[in-house]
Amino acid sequence: MRLISFNMNSVKAYMNKNLTDQLEKYNYDILSIEELKLTEKEHTSFPYVKEGYTPYWTVSKNKKGYAGTAILTNKKPINVTYGLHNNEYDDEGRVITAEFNNFYLVTLYVPNSGEELKRLDYRMEFEDKLRNYLIDLQKKKPIIVTGDLNVAHEEIDLKNPSSNHHSAGFTDEERDKFRKLLSIGLIDTFRYFNNDERKYSYWSYLRNARANNAGWRIDYYLVSECLIDKVSSAQILNDVYGSDHCPVLLDINL
């Protein structure tokens, strides 16, 4: 089974660029999308649907054209839920969970701490509730967690760690929460398979960052420890353009 996750930074804008062949050549079974930026939740249509695939999505209810997550799948899920416990954070379209026979897939767009870290406290609360939510899921069956997690774990995961130590996405607080997330029994698949490789999944639109490869690795596939032997590949698809992010890929035998 092949899974891909991609922060498109507006699914409609991405579709208007006619770049879907870049993704479709990878023949994915499940595509997770983050940062949809759709203005309303429409149950009758979705901007990006391939034949044989079913879309599930959620958008921000309070702030139009903001956040939002989606799952497109050719494998029928048993159930799909939105938000964390009791649908919390679905008002910002942050989380989708698709339950399959032998695993849960959780697609996330984790809140950014923002300029001057104005949303850091909000982010910390989200992280604690997310961790508890995933602990409860793992009691039932293994999990695959993906999406834009908005944190570079270690210095190897961004081009300029020294100048970004107090920047959103690389604060001590955010990195500590990520370590605690891994501590519940999750493995960062890219780092597991690629050890000390420096490769990024996000570049600012400013200062020609992508051309200079001044990037960050903030998009992930995390899997329950019991699934790691079933993973054959974890990649970052730097050849896919159209967003300030690029997709990440997971090949897993489930």
> Which residues carry out catalysis?
109, 148
Nearest to 5 by CA among 243, 251, 234, 249: 249
CB 48, CB 15: distance < 8 Å: yes
Distance CA 234, CA 238 (A): 13
Q: C-alpha distances in angstroms, 239 versus 19, 38, 76, 243?
A: 12, 25, 29, 12
Q: C-alpha distances in angstroms, 77 versus 15, 30, 32, 71?
A: 25, 11, 14, 11
DSSP helix/strand/coil, 55: strand
Q: How far is CA 210 from the centre of its chain?
A: 19
Q: Is 187 left (phi over 0), alpha (psi -120 to 50) or beta?
A: beta
Q: What is the token pair recorded at 191?
A: 């780092």
